[in-house]
Amino acid sequence: MLLLRWITAAGLLGVAFASPEGELVKKSTVSDILSDIENAFTCGACEALLGVLQGLAHLGNDAFVDVITDVCVLASVEDKDVCEGAISREGPILAHDLRNMHIPSKTATLFCSTVFGLCDSPDVTEHTVEFPSAKPSNASRPSPSGETPIQVVHISDIHVDLSYETGANYNCTKNICCRPYTESDAPGNTSFPAGGYGNSNCDSPLTLEESMYGAIEHLVPDASFTIFTGDVVEGAVWLVNETEVTNDLNDAYKTRMPSYLNKVYGVVGNHDAAPVNSFPPAAIDTTIDSQWVYDTLSSGWSQWIGSEAATTADNYGSYSVKHPGSNLRIISFNTNFYYKENFWLYEETMETDPNSQLRWLVTELSAAEAAGERVWLLGHMPMGSGDAFHDGSNYFNQIIQRYDATIAAAFYGHTHKDEFEISYSNYTDQNANTATMMSYIAPALTPTSGNPTFRVYSVDPVTFGILDFTVYIANMSNPAYQSNPKWEKYYSAKEAYGSLVEPAITDSAAELTPAFWHNITAVFEKEDSVFQDYIARKTRGWKVELCSGDCKTEEICQLRAAESQYNCVTISPGINFKKRDTTSTAKHQESACGQSTITAVFADFQRSVSALKSSALTKLGSDFLDKTANTTSS
């Protein structure tokens, strides 16, 4: 009860914990703490819970996994097999974080922000990225050349499920279905049989993957090359292991893509590992490394990027290569080092530049600038999204601003939605003149977030500026879809938006510049029907909902933020549940790409704390509950 009185006295537990008076409650038993914080939805309560979880982590990975799995089952977060599989995979990483964590600290606050939604994102720790030379005073984006454009295909988030079975239950209790998880889910035993080409409750069957590549071959026969912004592996994260991921990556990169596409530049996605999202930076001492992922990717990609770049990719999934016969340099980098669900990053002390990847980017961009090359940056997670750490995103943005005349554009996936992000040289003064870079975010093949889709860019062959893009979809609501998906043009950016700005941008040789896209967001503000059309396109016309009020304000804010601290994403308790549908059969709804099961376990704080109390008692007995927990920093 001591803590509760404290809440009233100090107003906020968080304040109390962070202040020197925190010593007053230096020690308290696990049992007391859990009782006291059950109803306290504060950042301080979260930090108190971290003290308890740290005690649990000190008992070892097995005890930690055992108790948290029980919490997951007791709180009915997921089916028992999902809880067991997911937490046995993710648990040891979180236990590793917790054992080394100082509480309170910025790391603890970030952890509470991501896992519990109870702390606001901490302020960015200032860091000035070093550049070998200052930006040339005459640096500017080149004007369009007017030469005949080339076509480049952009595919993303294929999430191919090689265990998909036609006829298996598509209406199961897990986040992806269409697999015979139980006898009653098996083909012939279910009244919800999956069709041959996929279902919105399931990741892509192989048939759908091949159907898309076939459509690309047919619809874009002259494509110069393809960019693929990651996530090959399906979303049954509680079953995914090294054997499956290796097999999935090899199937996509060595078998399917080469049969249809002439050249593919790939990136590493957060799902392309086991456990999911597990990309430990080199500085971390662990036996759970992901070198095998990089080995597999490197050997799959070498056919397209050559052995030299493949050797670089083998370091941590990133590479830089000149596209043959052109002035374009492709730089593919690993965004998992800034991804909040990569729990290896919550280490004392959090690194400013994991694996020195940002330093490597600066070296590559500096050389490209000196050589007068044009650059495309490819990554998986958009660096302005709510999934990106504010610190890493801020440092990355400094690099974007320095080399904005050399980088033609950046390309991402991960969100599964058709969208974009604009970078500004000054985020407190956003206008067409301060808009400096475009992030093109391609929607997914997997049907879990809308109709299966791919994009084709029309590209200036000299400046490599984006002149237009056309989106193709296969409409799942079409009655013929399950026998033979028909891929057709959905819309073109220039056709949809070009005439809405002043002066109109309709010439096929004109670039869609950052200023153009800024002006389009201004049109969204003024003309609501244009904005609602954009919203419908995000999911390719699938389950479209009106977006107005805060939804609209936040959406436009995100479009204008390629640096994550400016994206207006607010942190609130249970934020992770909002990503699912809380009103109906929640589990069929889309879960955020790569969201860990542990964050789902703790999304409902009260329920999880109360389940933790009973699980700890059952599994560890009163010895643990009577223990003194570390609730303040030592």
Ligand X SMILES: *[C@@H]1O[C@H](CO)[C@@H](O)[C@H](O)[C@H]1NC(C)=O
Q: Residue 200 or residue 393: which is nearer to ligand X going by CB?
A: 200
Q: Minimum distance from CB of 461 to ligand X (Å)?
A: 18
96 annotated to a ligand binding site: no
Sign of the Cα torsion 478, 593, 568, 12 reads: positive
312 or 521: whose CB is closer to ligand X? 521
Could you tell me if 161 and 204 are in contact, meaning their C-beta atoms sit under 8 angstroms apart? yes
| Shortest separation between residue 433's beta carbon and ligand X, angstroms | 8
Structure tokens at 497: 């938006």
| Phi and psi at residue 108, to the nearest 5° | -65, -40
And the tokens for 588? 């069929």
Interaction mask 463-502, ligand X, x per CB under 6 A: ------------x-xx----------------------x-
Q: Least CB distance from residue 170 to ligand X, whole Å?
A: 7
406 forms part of the interface with ligand X (CB under 6 A): no
Residue 583 as a binder of ligand X (CB under 6 A): the answer is no
State the minimum distance, in angstroms, from the CB of residue 534 to ligand X: 14
Binding mask 361-390 for ligand X (x = CB under 6 A): ------------------------------
d(CA 337, CA 351) in angstroms, rounded, equals 10
User: CB of 448: closest distance to ligand X in angstroms?
Assistant: 14
For residue 430, what are its two tokens? 């956003």
Q: Is 414 annotated as a binding residue?
A: yes
Q: Is 239 a residue that touches ligand X (CB under 6 A)?
A: yes
Q: For residue 513, state whether it binds ligand X (rule: CB under 6 A).
A: yes
- For ligand X, which stretch binds (CB under 6 A), given 54-62, 123-131, 342-350, 358-366? 54-62
475 labelled binding-site residue = no
Q: Which of 1, 3, 38, 36 is nearest to 17 (CA)?
A: 3
CB of 243 to ligand X, least distance (A): 4
Cβ nearer to ligand X, comparing 136 with 549:
136
Cβ neighbors of 333 (< 8 A, separation 6 or more) are 267, 318, 357, 361, 377, 378, 379
Please give the Cα distance from 379 to 123 (Å, whole number): 25
* Contact status, residue 411 vs residue 378, Cβ threshold 8 Å: yes
Residue 263 as a binder of ligand X (CB under 6 A): the answer is no
Of 407, 303, 318, 327, residue with least CA distance to 355: 318
Q: Provide the minimum distance between the beta carbon of 89 and ligand X in the complex, in angstroms, as a whole number.
A: 11
x-marked contacts with ligand X along 177-206 as a string, rule CB under 6 A: ---x--x--x--x--x--------------
Token duo for residue 391:
């610190």
Asked if omega into 503 is within 30° of 0 (cis), the reply is yes
Q: What's the token pair of residue 48?
A: 């108190």
Which amino acid belongs to residue 261?
Answer: L
What is the distance, to the nearest Å, from the Cα of residue 162 to the centroid of all Cα atoms in its chain? 22
Beta carbon nearer to ligand X, 238 or 253: 238
Q: Considering only residues 612-631, where is the footprint of ligand X by CB under 6 A?
A: 627, 629-630
Which residue of this chain has its Cβ atom nearest to ligand X in the complex? Answer: 541
Per the annotation, does 159 bind a ligand? yes
Determine the Cα–Cα distance for residues 438 and 436; give it in Å rounded to an integer.
7
| 52 vs 313, beta carbon nearer ligand X | 52
- The residue (of 260 and 427) whose beta carbon lies closer to ligand X is 427
How far CA 318 is from CA of 165, 249, 281, 357, in Å, comes to: 34, 16, 13, 8
- Six-digit token pair at 527? 């003309």
Determine if 244 is a binding residue for ligand X (CB under 6 A): yes
Beta carbon nearer to ligand X, 360 or 531: 531
Residues 342, 392 contacting (CB under 8 angstroms): no
Residue 617, token pair as written in the block: 């008692």
Max CA separation in the chain (angstroms): 76
429 part of the interface to ligand X, by CB under 6 A = yes
What does the alpha-carbon distance between residue 94 and residue 84 come to, in Å, rounded to a whole number?
15
Question: Binders of ligand X: how many residues, by CB under 6 A?
Answer: 34
Closest CA to 103 of 43, 167, 62, 171: 43
Q: Do 232 and 160 touch, CB atoms closer than 8 A?
A: yes
435 near ligand X, judged by CB under 6 A: no
Q: How far is the CB of 198 from ligand X (least distance, A)?
A: 14
Give the amino acid at 160: V
Q: By rule CB under 6 A, what string of x and - marks binding of each residue 120-149 to ligand X? A: ----------------x-x-x---------
- Interacting residues with ligand X (CB under 6 A): 54-55, 58, 136, 138, 140, 171, 180, 183, 186, 189, 192, 239, 241, 243-244, 426, 428-429, 432, 475, 477-478, 501, 513, 515-516, 519, 540-541, 627, 629-630, 634
Residues forming the annotated binding site for Zn(2+)? 157, 159, 231, 270, 380, 414, 416
Residues forming the annotated binding site? 157, 159, 231, 270, 380, 414, 416
